[in-house]
Structure 1
Amino acid sequence: MKTIEDRLKLVEDQLEIAQLRAHYCHLLDTRRWDEFIALFTPDGVFEGLEAVCGHDALHAFFSERVPKLAEDFWHFCTNGTVDLDGDVATGRISMEYLSVTDGVSFVSAGHYDDVMHRVDGRWRFASRKITFYFLSPLSEGWAGRPFPGRAPAPRGAA
C-alpha cells in the first residue's frame, strides 16, 4: 500500500508533466526557442518531419526549419496520459495543429508519444515523437486526407 507521501509525489509528478507539455505548446507557438529547447534533456530527441537529437540540433530545427513551414501556428494538446516509473515517465497526448502557410489556413491532428526523464529534480522530454493523422487546407476539410507520407486508413476503419 502506498503512503500518503508516495501518493502526493505521484500527483506532483503528474502535474509537473502536464505543465511541461503545456509549456511545450506555448513556447513553441511564441517561438521562444531558448526556453523551448530547455524543455528537453541535453540529448533529447524530437521525431516528426525529421529526427533531431540534442539541444543544438533541436534549436536549429525549430528556429530555422519550422518557421519556413508555416507563417504562424498554434498547438492544442488534450487527453494526456502518463505512466511513471521512478524518474522515467511515458505517455501519449492528443494534438490539434492549426497553421497558416502561404496565406492558406491548415488544420491537422495527431498525437505525441513522450518519454520524459526527471533531470536535476525537473521533468524534461527525453524524446517526443509526433504522429499526424491528417493535414488539410481548412477550406477543403480533412475527410479522407491523410498526412503526407502516411497511408490512408481503409474505409470503415476506426
Structure 2
Amino acid sequence: MAGQPTLESLHKRLQLLEDKDELNTLLNHYCNTADDHKWDEYAATFTPDGVLGFENWGEIVGRDKISAAAGGAENRFQGLQHSMTNMQFTINEDTASARCYLWFAATMDTTKPHEYHAFGGHYRFQFKRTSEGWRISRMQLSKVWAQNEDTEGVFGA
C-alpha cells in the first residue's frame, strides 16, 4: 500500500519525539535547579566542557566554572524565576540546537515581591547526546529588555 508508514519511519518519528521530550525536560531542569539555587545540579545540565555565554560575562567553560559563576550572580536573590517559552528544537542524530525565550525575575526578599528585577531575551542552545543523556554543550543568552534596576549590575543595565 502506497503512503503507509514503514516500521523504520515510525521508529525515526518516535525517536524524534522522545529526543524533543528529553531536551524539553533538560531545559526545565536547567531552570528549576537555578530557581532552587542548586548550582552543581544546574551545571550538570551541561557537558563537562560546556560553555555558558552571557553578554556581560563572556564565555564560561566547564561545569565547575559554570556553577561558580551562576551561583555567584544569583545567590544574592532569595527568590528566582526562570521561565522559557517558544522552544524550538532541531535534532540531527546526536547533536541538537534550540532557540527559545527567557523571562527572568528575581527578588532579594520574597516578603517584598514588588521589589524585583526582571529581564528577558533570546536563548540559543547547542546540545550533545552523551552517556548521561542529552546535555547542553553551549548556551548563549542575549538580553532584549529589562524591568527595574539590577542594583549590583551583575546582569547589565
Give the TM-score range, shorter chain.
0.7 to 0.9
Q: Distance in 2 between matches of 1:66 and 1:84?
A: 31
SS at match of 1:129: strand
Question: Which residue number in structure 2 is paired with residue 141 of structure 1?
Answer: none
Q: Distance in 2 between matches of 1:44 and 1:108?
A: 24
Change (3 A) 1:35 1:121: closer
SS at match of 1:79: strand
Match of 2:16 among 10, 18, 21: 10
Q: Distance in 2 between matches of 1:111 and 1:75?
A: 13
SS at match of 2:75: helix
SS at match of 2:20: helix
Change (3 A) 1:20 1:89: same
Q: Distance in 2 between matches of 1:107 and 1:121?
A: 33
> Which ranges of structure 2 fall in alignment gaps of 5 or more residues?
150-154
Asked if 1:40 corresponds to 2:51, the answer is no
User: What is the Cα-based RMSD across aligned positions, in Å?
Assistant: 2.1
Question: Which residue number in structure 1 is paired with residue 152 of structure 2?
Answer: none
Question: Which residue number in structure 1 is paired with residue 82 of structure 2?
Answer: 75
Query: How far off its partner does 1:121 sit?
Result: 5.5
Query: How far off its partner does 1:71 sit?
Result: 4.1
> Which ranges of structure 1 fall in alignment gaps of 5 or more residues?
139-146, 150-158
Q: Percent identity of the aligned residues?
A: 27
Change (3 A) 1:107 1:66: closer
TM-score (norm. length: structure 1): 0.80
* Cα offsets for 1:80-104 (capped at 9, x unmatched): 0011111000110111011125873
Q: Distance in 1 between matches of 2:24 and 2:90?
A: 12
Query: How far off its partner does 1:67 sit?
Result: 2.0
SS at match of 2:14: helix
Deviates more, 1:2-11 or 1:22-31: 2-11
Listed as ranges, the matches of 1:1-158 within 5 Å are: 3-48=9-54, 49-50=56-57, 51-68=59-76, 70-101=77-108, 104-120=115-131, 122-137=133-148, 148=156
Q: Distance in 1 between matches of 2:39 and 2:64?
A: 11
Q: Distance in 1 between matches of 2:90 and 2:19?
A: 10
TM-score (norm. length: structure 2): 0.81
